[in-house]
Amino acid sequence: MATPVAEPTPTTKIAPLTGIEAWKALEAHAQQVRGLHLRTLFADDPRRGERLTVEAAGLFLDYSKNRITDETLRLLLELAHQSGLRQRIDAMFRGEKINITEKRAVLHVALRAPKNESILVDGENVVPLVHEVLDKMTAFANRVRNGEWTGHTGKPIRNIVNIGIGGSDLGPVMAYEALRHFSRRDLNFRFVSNVDGTDFAEAVHDFEPDETLFIVSSKTFTTLETMTNAHTARTWLLKGIGGHQSSVAKHFVAVSTNAVEVAKFGIDTANMFGFWDWVGGRYSMDSAIGLSTMLAIGPESFRAMLDGFHQVDEHFRTAPFERNLPVLLGLLSVWYTDFFDAQTLAILPYEQYLKRFPAYLQQLTMESNGKHVTLSGNTVDYVTGPIYWGEPGTNGQHSFYQLIHQGTRLIPCDFIAFVKSLNPLGQHHDMLLANVFAQTEALAFGKTPEQVKAEGTPDWLVPHRVFEGNQPSNTILAEELTPAALGKLVALYEHCVFTQGTIWQVNSFDQWGVELGKALAQRIIPELESKTEPKLGHDSSTNNLIRRYRKQKE
């Protein structure tokens, strides 16, 4: 292993992962469990389906259809303890700078802390700051929602466009879609993220500028895509409104940590909603970055969502690991990633409103734990973050489920469903939920050749119709997709990611890969725009692509 290069942290006291006793025990134990079928595990324990469940904060998790025994669980929990998960959770909640590469605290939990709590960062209680911003957002949202905030020509705002990317987009767009049922239907919400001009053009094509409000959401206020879109939006507004510079203040607000850049853009900093460097982009949908969410669902529902987050924060912080939902989810994903060579993990919400939830989770999980270097600066010799993907059910069943059922890969699945529908129509909801239960059953138990034959299938067709089964899944059931339930669900996965990152000993809170992307294109833009033939110093492929593009666009 290479010499550590990171500054020492409390975590460096923990042995390298593969040297931890519980890890070594899991390696040996996995050899036995790999040969076990879920059919056997269920047949041997008639109460398994009731036993391996846990409920907290209104979320019910059935993890019985996993390829685990009681011994697996014992060892995974031991791994959590020996990895210092308890200490690391406490360190996060205490506001310690656990994001060591950026020297920052990691305090998204402070964003939903009740007013009377105290969480210190560098000796300052940040909870009052959070509530100050929440109050400012509330006042603003109320003014827009009741028509008091008017545009340049005196008309109320009818259209709200959030301009942001990555963490400043995926959370807001996911939350808007998820909570649409609770949103004001007379307000139109659009989300512009891509630097591809089509995104902006399509978002505003049917909007009147004098009824449109732009929220420029950017922690740094320097992100290429967001600033390009924000400038395009300003040009579009001024063109549509007759060039009155003063209109910018009425049609633009900002969510950022960078007041200087916000002012430079021409947005009145009185209309800027702040947050802090201890809120990571992908952990920011419940900060001021959620302003569009608050405008859509109203301040009260927004606070209900925060309360949902907080309930799961408290559960994560206090529940014993064996009954701790995020810890169990995190450990199970480590189990498949590192001991079963599972490359991916599918998120399958059986709830149309959660159609953007898998995309949101992709960033949360993969940007957080897509790392190959430990907190001590060593290269890992085990696999970290799996690929997360998914689509809402039942649509996925008619496309990619085939590969999960009868392909050659192991794909652990999280099924997410709600007992009550927000749109109860005839039999729809029973049918939807029947599919959830049927899929997890089929994945786990499959269909044996004997069963297929007994159905009268001709011999030659039998192998094609056999389902191996033994495909693991979790089922997460909640009552109804309310704002609070969404908060709970997001917090569940945030802390699942935290658990994974702790076991893998990586920093789940930096994103140097994203930073690289932010810098790379900057060098090529002038080469594409240059009037004269630029001198190119890339590799031959990149040079050739640039030349071809320049030639063809003329």
Give me the residues that bind ligand G6Q (CB under 6 A), please.
Answer: 165-168, 218-220, 223, 226, 280-282, 367, 511, 514
- Select 61 or 262, whichever has its Cβ closest to ligand G6Q: 262
Give the closest residue to 172 by CA, choosing from 101, 310, 273: 273
SS3 category, 248? helix
Looking at 97, 447, 453, 518, which residue is catalytic? 518
Write down how long the chain is: 554
Known catalytic residue: 202?
no
In the complex, least distance from residue 519 CB atom to ligand G6Q, rounded to whole angstroms: 12
Provide the CB-side half-sphere exposure for 514 (13 A, CA): 19
Cis preceding-peptide flag for 394 (omega within 30 of 0): yes
Structure tokens at 37: 């079928």
DSSP 73-141: HHHHHHHHHHTTHHHHHHHHHTT---BTTTTB---GGGGG--TT---EETTEE-HHHHHHHHHHHHHHH
At 227, the amino acid letter reads: M
In the complex, least distance from residue 17 CB atom to ligand G6Q, rounded to whole angstroms: 24
SS3 category, 347? strand
- Select 124 or 515, whichever has its Cβ closest to ligand G6Q: 515
At 55, the amino acid letter reads: E
- Select 93 or 221, whichever has its Cβ closest to ligand G6Q: 221
- Select 168 or 301, whichever has its Cβ closest to ligand G6Q: 168
Q: How far is CA 310 from CA 23, 303, 317, in A?
A: 32, 10, 10
- Select 433 or 514, whichever has its Cβ closest to ligand G6Q: 514
In the complex, least distance from residue 367 CB atom to ligand G6Q, rounded to whole angstroms: 6
Known catalytic residue: 97?
no
**Quick check: 288 and 270 in contact, CB under 8 A?**
no
Q: Compute the C-alpha angle 221/114/125, nearest 5°.
A: 65
- Select 73 or 262, whichever has its Cβ closest to ligand G6Q: 262
Looking at 177, 351, 367, 527, which residue is catalytic? 367
In the complex, least distance from residue 194 CB atom to ligand G6Q, rounded to whole angstroms: 13
- Select 226 or 505, whichever has its Cβ closest to ligand G6Q: 226
Dist. CA 472–CA 336, nearest whole Å: 9
Dist. CA 62–CA 475, nearest whole Å: 5
Dist. CA 52–CA 54, nearest whole Å: 7
Residue 453 Cα to chain centre, angstroms: 44
Give, for 551, the enclosing helix (H) or strand (E).
Answer: helix 540-553
Looking at 13, 103, 205, 398, which residue is catalytic? 398
Known catalytic residue: 518?
yes
Enumerate helices (H) and strands (E) in the chain, giving the number of each.
Answer: 23, 13
In the complex, least distance from residue 506 CB atom to ligand G6Q, rounded to whole angstroms: 15
With CB atoms as reference, the residue minimizing the distance to ligand G6Q is 166
In the complex, least distance from residue 229 CB atom to ligand G6Q, rounded to whole angstroms: 11
- Select 88 or 104, whichever has its Cβ closest to ligand G6Q: 104
Q: How far is CA 517 from CA 259, 368, 520, 523, in A?
A: 24, 16, 5, 11
Active site amino acids = 367, 398, 518
